[in-house]
A and B are shown apart, each in its own frame.
Chain A
Amino acid sequence: MRNHLLLLGILLFLVVLTGIVFLRGDVLALALPLMIYLGLALWYAPEKIDLQLTREFDHNWLSDGTPVNVRLILENKGSPVEELLIQERLPNGVKLLDGKLTDFISLMPGERYEMAYEIQPPRGQFTWRPTTVLAGEMFALFGREFTIDTSSKLNVRPMHYTVGSIPIRPPQTRGFAGPIPARQAGSGVEFFSIRNYQPGDPMRHINWKAAARHPFDLFTNTQETERVADVGVILDSRSHLNVTARGDSLFEHSTRAAASLAETFLKDGNRVALLVYGGSIHSVFPGYGKVQRERILNALSSARLGRNYALENLGNLPTRFFPARSQIVLISPLQTEDLPVLVQLRAHGYAVILVSPDPVDFELYPVKPDPAKDYAYRLATIERTFLIQQANRIGVQVVDWKVHEPLEPAIKQAVRLQPVLRRL
């Protein structure tokens, strides 16, 4: 704008100067259109540009794939602005569904203008870049371009599936009552063992069959107490294990599974921790309840794939982050090099559930090649089956999850089919 004004000023000066030098009135008259143009621009130039911008979302916390309506409200608290060009810039990855991001308007003092658009953001944490505004008078000689920062943030959490209570049996439970059988006698529903009768035991707990076999002794039934447990959810975010197909990423499904499982375990009253293992290690310390749920979902919304040469296999997994003999849920497509780590976890006394999204099926879905003809598919399938069998053999409960199928039946089936190891 300054260049344009300068050009016009120089031309005007040149015309006036030439008219004076040549002592010609008709040359001086040539300056009149320029002078009127410049004078009018000067007359209408806004004295004080004071624009206030606010951005509103119809909800701040949402799951990926949910459309969001955004309202951009601009209020003029200064002089009249004849020409106002607003350019809104979306954060990377956010898709515009409806509406406009640019507008060209006039705004009188005290007037409000509202621009609305609809977006569909993927999972992540998004910060809006400052809005560019070009404000000036009708000939844009005295206007200026500036940005208004409204610091809007949107947190898009992973979409989570509905998963009912999962019957886990970790070797160690915590002291509070919960849904998990604790392998200890106490108040509960399920039969646990019998012991000698002690004065004060309720009559209805006496095991009459055992008493009949021992004429001088009485025995009391004991129930297995039910407690809450420590559950550690590990999300594998190593980029070299990820598969993308049809614009979709296997990691997104893993993230959704992690969110769903964490929510289910927290709903059951367990203490849940999260560890995202990939480009770096990001952790959420163990905790209970809704606050912990928020922490975990926030951590998952910012989880990104990454590559770190130190974390290429699960060898550097900080196992002591999780309480001893607790339940670990590992969500990973898994590679052969990770098996020794699973063995190590089992050896340390952890109960391990491996939720493994099937990369082979994900990549080829919905077309399944004929294994007799497609040797690559056959080899990949055999390799994966072998890997899962090996994991099963070391006592890991493996959920071989085909991501286009619901997660809950796959988990329920895997956890039910696996024999529970009572002694480790």
Chain B
Amino acid sequence: MVRTLTLIAVIIGSATLTIAFYVPGVQAATIVSLVIGGLWLIFAWFRQHWFAMIGFPVMSILALLAASQEYNAPLSAVAITAGLTAWDLSRFATRLRPALQDANWRLPARRHVRRLLIVNGIGLILAIVAMMLQFRGSFYLEWFIAFVGIFALFLVIILTARFTH
């Protein structure tokens, strides 16, 4: 189940990115989207989940590129969400791997997938809604958001240190 969903998420992510770049005729990015999607599919098929650590950043950067170049922002949102889903499922499969032989893993797997799909579905809907309801703010407001972003990043780093040690 986890692998199938990972494969579906990778296909969706790669396909949306390919469409986003193919329609305006950006050949190089289209090829890169196809290649990264194809590679991720192959690695996911053979349960090489480490590739998600490459596939997800590349897919996110491509989505960011597509959105920033005004190619197709909603498709980029779909791609980034699909990439996030595939990345999470790959990590989950890695965690679950030692338990596959012995444990009753189906129940926690089903629960995890359900939560992930809900969270990412809400994230995607909010992103698309935000894209549709755009408003123009002042430069200072954007700087404020940037500071909030930096603060959030510092918070993440501090929390990481706290949970690691």
Q: Measured between alpha carbons, how far is A102 from B100 in the docked complex, in Å?
A: 8
Q: Contact: B73 with A38, CB < 8 Å? A: no
- Is there contact, CB below 8 Å, between B131 and A25? yes
How far apart sit A32 and B156, CA to CA, in the bound complex (Å)?
16
Contact call A16/B160, Cβ cutoff below 8 A = no
- CB < 8 Å neighbour of A104 from B57, B105, B152: B105
Given A17-B149, A144-B164, A30 contacting B105 (CB threshold 8 A): no
Nearest Cβ distance between residue A220 and chain B, in whole angstroms? 78
Q: Is the CB of B163 within 8 A of A34?
A: no
Partner of B102, one of A3, A35, A103, A139: A103
B135 CB-CB contact with A under 8 Å: yes
Shortest distance between the CB of B142 and any CB in chain A (Å): 5
Q: Which of A5-13, A239-247, A276-284, A304-312 contacts B (4 or more CB under 8 A)?
A: A5-13
Chain A nearest Cβ from B59, distance in angstroms: 10
User: How far in angstroms is the closest Cβ of chain A from B141?
Assistant: 10
Residue-wise, chain B 108-127 has the 8 Å CB interface mask toward A (1 for contact) of 10011001100110111011
User: Cα distance A127–B142 when bound, in Å?
Assistant: 60
Q: Which of B64, B92, B145 contacts A30 (CB 8 A)?
A: B64
Taking a contact as CB atoms closer than 8 A, the residue among A2, A16, A105 that contacts B149 in the complex is A16
Which residues in A have their C-beta under 8 angstroms from that of B119?
36-37, 40
- B84-A37 in contact (CB<8A): yes
Chain A neighbourhood of B127, CB < 8 A:
29-30, 32-33
**Measured CA separation A140–B116 after assembly (Å):** 12
Contacting pair A33 B115 (CB below 8 A): no
Report how many residues on chain A are interfacial, defined by Cβ distance under 8 Å.
53
CA distance A5 to B164 in the complex (A): 11
* Chain B contacts for A22, CB-based, 8 A: 68
Instruction: Decide if B120 touches A30 in the complex (CB within 8 Å).
Output: no
Most chain B Cβ neighbours within 10 Å, of A5, A20, A29, A83: A29
Partner of B56, one of A7, A33, A139, A140: A7
Q: Are B130 and A34 in contact (CB under 8 A)?
A: no
The answer on a CB contact under 8 Å between A37 and B120 is: yes
Smallest CB–CB gap between B164 and chain A, Å?
5
**In the complex, A11→B153 CA distance in Å?**
10
> A119 → chain B, closest Cβ, in Å?
14
Q: In the bound complex, what is the Cα–Cα distance between A4 and B143 (angstroms)?
A: 27
Cα distance A33–B92 in the bound complex, in angstroms = 18
Check A24/B56 contact, CB under 8 A, given A30-B76, A30-B77, A140-B95.
no
Nearest CB of chain A from residue B104's CB, rounded to whole Å: 8
Majority secondary structure of chain A interface residues (helix, strand, loop or mixed): helix
Contact status of A34 and B67, CB under 8 A, knowing A26-B134, A102-B98, A102-B102: no
How many angstroms between the C-alpha atoms of A11 and B91 in the bound complex? 17
Contact partner of A42 (CB less than 8 A), chosen from B67, B116, B143, B159, is B159
Residues of A within 8 A of B56 (CB): 7, 11
Is A83 a contact partner of B146 (Cβ separation < 8 A)? no
Check A134–B95 contact: CB distance below 8 A: yes
Interface core residue of A1, A27, A35 (most chain B CB under 10 Å) = A27
A218 close to chain B: CB less than 8 A = no
Q: Which of B84, B102, B105, B153 has the most CB of A within 10 A?
A: B102
In the complex, what distance in Å separates the CA atom of A143 from the CA atom of B96?
Answer: 14
Given the known A-B contacts A33-B124, A45-B159, A144-B164, are A11 and B60 also in contact in the complex, defined by CB atoms under 8 Å? yes
Q: Are B123 and A18 in contact (CB under 8 A)?
A: no
Residues of A near B91 (CB, < 8 A) are 4, 140
Is A106 in contact with chain B by the CB < 8 A criterion?
Answer: yes
Interface 1/0s, chain B 51-89, versus A by CB < 8 A? Answer: 001001100110110011010010011001100100010
Are the CB atoms of B99 and A2 closer together than 8 Å? Answer: no
The distance in angstroms between the C-alpha atoms of A26 and B119, with both chains bound, is 20
Q: When the two chains form the complex, which single residue of B146, B153, B156 contacts A20, counting CB atoms closer than 8 Å?
A: B146
For the complex formed, measure the closest distance between the CB of A34 and the CB atoms of chain B, giving whole angstroms: 7
* Interface residue B28 (Cβ < 8 Å from any Cβ of A): no
Whether B163 contacts A1 by the Cβ 8 Å rule is: yes
- Contact pattern, B 2-13, Cβ under 8 Å of A = 1, otherwise 0: 000000000000
Interface membership of chain A positions 137-174, coded 1 if the CB is closer than 8 angstroms to chain B and 0 otherwise: 01110111000000000000000000000000000000
Chain B contacts to A: CB under 8 angstroms = 53, 56-57, 60-61, 63-64, 67-68, 70, 73, 76-77, 80-81, 84, 88, 91-92, 95-96, 98-99, 101-105, 108, 111-112, 115-116, 119-120, 122-124, 126-128, 130-131, 134-136, 142-143, 145-146, 149-150, 152-153, 156-157, 159-160, 163-164
Listed A/B pairs (19) with beta-carbon separation below 8 Å: A1-B163, A2-B163, A5-B156, A7-B53, A11-B56, A14-B60, A14-B61, A15-B80, A18-B68, A20-B142, A20-B146, A29-B77, A29-B126, A32-B126, A33-B126, A38-B156, A85-B98, A102-B98, A103-B99
Residues of chain A touching chain B, judged by Cβ–Cβ distance below 8 Å, are 1-7, 9, 11-18, 20, 22-30, 32-38, 40, 42, 45, 83, 85, 87, 100-106, 134, 138-140, 142-144
A26-B131, A101-B102, A104-B105 known, 10 other contacts, Cβ within 8 Å: A2-B163, A3-B53, A5-B159, A9-B157, A14-B61, A16-B146, A28-B145, A30-B76, A33-B120, A85-B99
